Structure 1
């Protein structure tokens, strides 16, 4: 179909063709190509350079997911599409490391590389080292950052400092340490008043695998909670900071999270009292469990009830031991009742002496 003047609109009937081996539609004056989706095919080997060139058509969405591409990602540095906003390479067989050429993609908002065979220093690929600073420096319009289940270390301050458009942040199950990043205050795009179970849409394309909007910093090694206004009104309705090394008191800014519906601060080293806030006091004691030096409601009430229950159980246990011994051992039972009789006689004698003394005193007064 070369030079057949098929343009300017792209061919809609191509979607129903399934047995292509060679297709030539060159020199057809095709324009307005912005969304290019080749997903759910069995295209193998290397990714054609054509897909990243598009000199005459500003392709902004390129979806190559669920294929069998098996080359390294180095091709991303050879041909640059400056108009590309969304790039999906997930569910392929890509190998090797992730190149450091993202600064050249000036408009890139989201890239999906999950379910490949990638390795090196950057989602379930056991990536190591610090979180690359270029994520915060170059990808200024990043919406989703999902780096869980890796082996990243260091702190996340530099990475997050400029991400004003970030809506989903997941750094859980890594080895990140230090303070809770104070730059969370910059993540203004996370503040919302709707449901937390929504599908994020990028350029009209829904991303159903992102379900929970908000901060997930679980199972890292943050040293303490920053006492600044980091959390104030910029955290989603779910905040999970459990199983870290957080210490110190709960910051005042957290008491002003009026839209927080789920809070988990369990299994840390937090101390002092839980601030007197209706919001913080409304959470179940389990949300604060595992912080031995944390006091006041609701934790102190929970611990007080548990302590009283333990005392009652201990008393009942000791009473059962004594009763069981008296029932089984005859000699002990005999000695017990002898002791009881002696105690009773001693009490009667003491009471009689007290009565006599009182009578004498009353007689003297008269």
Structure 2
């Protein structure tokens, strides 16, 4: 066995002595290099007649000489995943009669491959052709073919499966009695999930992924039997499965560790039997039509729950006692909860991500967060009815990456202690907390929905690791922006818009070196835009519209890319990109913390009352003075007044006369 993986080898940098006819190498690992698959390189590989295991995964191979490789009759494992191989899979592969494992996933394969070409590979146990979007895999033609193999793992996700034959689940699977893993995700498969997939075939099936297809009807299309299945991983999300779930779910799937039924049309109550799934670690029932209360047993320490995702349903209540010591992710956003949850650091001591956004929860935010969650990474509470001031206890959440309290009724000032949160001061990875990022290596267990740059983004995978943000917009916050916020060097997004903040934009914001989005619009900020902000090289979204800012707009570096919409509603601002020219007199720049700050003339109370008095005097004497100075004007004025009085008296007389006659 020779392992040369994860170096920097190209085709020509491998030693030539490696490839000779008398080589005794049986297992060769060359993954994660810079190999391109030149003809000379492949010809050298084909001399290794005793080769049983070949791993060329994660290289830059764009072509492969299949006729040559097909001569390696001893080859048992061929890994070519995550390269740039194009074209179709030739029939030569069927000559590899000793083949046990074949992985061609994550390439650029296209054309049509008839699965019957593998029929005579009696040793074949694992095959992975997934993530070749242009590759057509046809399993139903010819109509009758009998596989000689017994697969343990079949992965055909994200390719064109049975495009020419009604997009059904491959029928040959019913003959695979040793199958442990089956992944047919994102294949546009249609119809109902066949009952035989669970009961009449694949009795050893443990992992089933049917995510992202067009399956419809109930789950399943026949009544559940009280027969125990061995499935531990089940994903039927992003389909059109409808109806209610069976009550005896725990009896049929007692060993479930991962269950994802999100984005379907399931309805009714969440079966209480879910609380009996002892090994369940991830449960995702989001984006359905479930109603009622979260089952009591599901919120107790009866399970191994790490991630509970119930977003976007019609749930309205939670049991009073909540106790899940291993829970790390709790997503209840987009429901109709109205009361605060019985969640405390003692009931969920391991909680990392909490999302209760888009509900109708009311109450004082200080009462809702009576103490800190020491490991909390994401706190999302937007679009509720919370009131009160921002509690200083937030500053004790040292690992906080995402804070979204927008669109509530919070008031008071922004705590000046936010610079105590270390994750906003320096780069920090979730992995330092030991969080379970993936389950079964296929899909991320969760994501975070966070608004920045004017849009809501769903962060998962690597972007989730690095993103940080604060959103306190759409509240009634007052007071100055704390200068200490300029110390949050690792912050990527800051939104304080639509509040009643006063004072100046802190010059300390020049320290937000990783900031990409800054929104301070719709406040009452005054003074100049600090020219030091042009040092923020990553800033791509900037908005200070509808404040009371004045002075010249910085127009260098990134600031030269912002249009006038970023500054609209500030009558005192001048210079590009606005059309207002700055005067030759430079306006004084107000420093933060000065006690002798000057007020503008228009904001002075003395100026306002003086203006009212002067306007009254001018208006009064503009009418009275001509009458005193000119006799003819006085006579005309008196005649007009007398005429008005006569007209009104006449109308009043006839009105009374009419009423009197009508009464009689």
Q: TM over 0.5: same fold?
A: yes
- Superposition deviation, residue 52 in structure 1: 3.8
Instruction: Give the conservation status (yes or no) of the 8 Å contact 2:254–2:278.
Output: no
For structure 1, list consecutive stretches of 5 or more residues without a partner in the other structure.
1-5, 114-122, 195-200, 310-366
- Superposition deviation, residue 267 in structure 1: 3.1
Q: Measure, in 2, the Cα distance between the counterparts of 1:21 and 1:247.
A: 57
Residues 215/251 of structure 1: CA separation in 2 closer, same or farther (3 Å cut): same
Superimposed CA distance per residue, residues 21-48 of structure 1 (whole angstroms, 9 cap, x where no aligned partner): 53537999x9993614262688776554
- Which of the two has greater helix per residue? 1
Instruction: Give the conservation status (yes or no) of the 8 Å contact 1:103–1:134.
Output: no
Q: Measure, in 2, the Cα distance between the counterparts of 1:140 and 1:184.
A: 15
Partner of 2:318: 73
Q: Measure, in 2, the Cα distance between the counterparts of 1:261 and 1:96.
A: 35
Partner of 1:98: 340
Q: Which moved more, 1:213-222 or 1:163-172?
A: 213-222
Partner of 2:281: 35
Residues 129/308 of structure 1: CA separation in 2 closer, same or farther (3 Å cut): same
Superimposed CA distance per residue, residues 195-221 of structure 1 (whole angstroms, 9 cap, x where no aligned partner): xxxxxx953123153464411222323
Matches within 5 A, 1:128-147: 128-133=362-367, 135=369, 137-147=371-381
| Aligned alpha-carbon RMSD (Å) | 4.4
SS in 2 for 1:102: coil
Residues 100/127 of structure 1: CA separation in 2 closer, same or farther (3 Å cut): same
Q: From 519, 543, 550, give the equivalent of 1:294.
A: 550
SS in 1 for 2:518: strand
Matches within 5 A, 1:15-34: 15=234, 21-22=247-248, 23-24=250-251, 33=279
Instruction: Give the conservation status (yes or no) of the 8 Å contact 1:73–1:97.
Output: no
Is 2:225 the partner of 1:12? no
Could you state the TM-score of these two structures normalised by the residue count of structure 1? 0.60
Partner of 2:419: 185
Q: Measure, in 2, the Cα distance between the counterparts of 1:293 and 1:150.
A: 31
Residues 133/185 of structure 1: CA separation in 2 closer, same or farther (3 Å cut): farther
Q: Measure, in 1, the Cα distance between the counterparts of 2:526 and 2:291.
A: 56
Superimposed CA distance per residue, residues 150-182 of structure 1 (whole angstroms, 9 cap, x where no aligned partner): 333332142412121111111222232232221
Matches within 5 A, 1:166-315: 166-191=400-425, 203-204=436-437, 205-210=445-450, 212=452, 213-234=468-489, 236-279=491-534, 287-298=543-554, 299-302=573-576, 305-307=579-581
- Superposition deviation, residue 185 in structure 1: 0.9
Q: Measure, in 2, the Cα distance between the counterparts of 1:222 and 1:37.
A: 37
Superimposed CA distance per residue, residues 230-275 of structure 1 (whole angstroms, 9 cap, x where no aligned partner): 3313462332223322222222321222222332323332223333
Is 2:339 the partner of 1:83? no
Q: From 102, 106, 125, give the equivalent of 2:359.
A: 125
Is 2:394 the partner of 1:160? yes
Superimposed CA distance per residue, residues 29-85 of structure 1 (whole angstroms, 9 cap, x where no aligned partner): x99936142626887765544434445x644334455777x57313434xx232222
Residues 32/211 of structure 1: CA separation in 2 closer, same or farther (3 Å cut): farther
Instruction: Give the conservation status (yes or no) of the 8 Å contact 1:258–1:279.
Output: no
Q: Measure, in 2, the Cα distance between the counterparts of 1:297 and 1:291.
A: 14
Residues 138/59 of structure 1: CA separation in 2 closer, same or farther (3 Å cut): same
Higher RCO (C-alpha 8 Å, min separation 6): 1
Q: Measure, in 2, the Cα distance between the counterparts of 1:99 and 1:244.
A: 27
- Superposition deviation, residue 127 in structure 1: 3.2
Residues 278/162 of structure 1: CA separation in 2 closer, same or farther (3 Å cut): closer
- Superposition deviation, residue 99 in structure 1: 3.7
SS in 2 for 1:161: helix
Instruction: Give the conservation status (yes or no) of the 8 Å contact 1:61–1:87.
Output: yes
Q: Measure, in 2, the Cα distance between the counterparts of 1:185 and 1:50.
A: 40
Instruction: Give the conservation status (yes or no) of the 8 Å contact 2:490–2:513.
Output: no
How many aligned positions are there?
282
Instruction: Give the conservation status (yes or no) of the 8 Å contact 2:340–2:361.
Output: no
Q: Measure, in 1, the Cα distance between the counterparts of 2:380 and 2:526.
A: 31
Q: Measure, in 2, the Cα distance between the counterparts of 1:303 and 1:67.
A: 46
SS in 1 for 2:423: helix
Q: Measure, in 2, the Cα distance between the counterparts of 1:45 and 1:227.
A: 43
Residues 38/214 of structure 1: CA separation in 2 closer, same or farther (3 Å cut): closer
For structure 2, list consecutive stretches of 5 or more residues without a partner in the other structure.
1-203, 205-228, 258-276, 429-433, 438-444, 453-467, 555-572, 584-664
Q: Measure, in 2, the Cα distance between the counterparts of 1:286 and 1:101.
A: 37
Instruction: Give the conservation status (yes or no) of the 8 Å contact 1:242–1:268.
Output: yes
Could you state the TM-score of these two structures normalised by the residue count of structure 2? 0.36
